[in-house]
Structure 1
Amino acid sequence: MSVNVLNQQKIDELSMEIGSDNVPVLFDIFLGEMDTYIENLSQLQGAERLAYSKEISHALKSSAASFGADRLCELAMSIDKKAKAGELTAESEELEAMFDLLHETRDAYRSWRQ
């Protein structure tokens, strides 16, 4: 089963919970976080990139879930679990996958906002 980049049902639920007027403000914050993550990951390598990926995967577990970024949430949970088990290395494929998925997710949300 393929998991969506953008889960419209979760976005609708969020809109009902916090009010539709507040959704764009929160999405701007989420998009800004993804921009920061992408920028920082693009400048880091090796152990520094690994450490930063561990840090942001933990944060993304909740923020991606809240905003309906299901694929990003799923990957962040996997990375966080592997990191805690000591199974994540600087060469892990998941790190590059997260970088790519951050781009894809950010672009999907920007398109959705327009």
Structure 2
Amino acid sequence: MDQEALVADAQTLTRSLDETMVKPKGVMLARSSETGESKLWVVPSSNIDKREFYGLVAQAISAEDLNALDVGMVELVDMARADRMGFKQLIRAPGISRIHLKSNWVNGISLPEGILIRMNL
């Protein structure tokens, strides 16, 4: 998978979701060290039903004609899980970013390699 295209699609999806009730507070393109697969973790601004979340994601991906990213790559991360993962202590990047991370430890929790698109928790 072309990483540049994946990051560009993740940024576009984030902008598109800003116009919905999702309004992502956190978005990270995380890469599994075990499988090499990428997941796009999305922390919505408020609680949202999973079905509604994935429906909005699918609509945005279709409307924006994204090719590198599909719904199966997107993972809903609730605020409680984001807190346990230490995202609040990690970094603050409220806009659309491209911040590369390599195997970081935050509060004893190992975060995977990845690219922060937004972190505004």
TM-score by length of 2: 0.30
Bigger relative contact order, structure 1 or 2 (CA pairs below 8 A, ≥6 apart): 1
Bigger helix fraction? 1
Query: Looking at CA atoms only, which structure, 1 or 2, has the larger radius of gyration?
Result: 1
Bigger strand fraction? 2
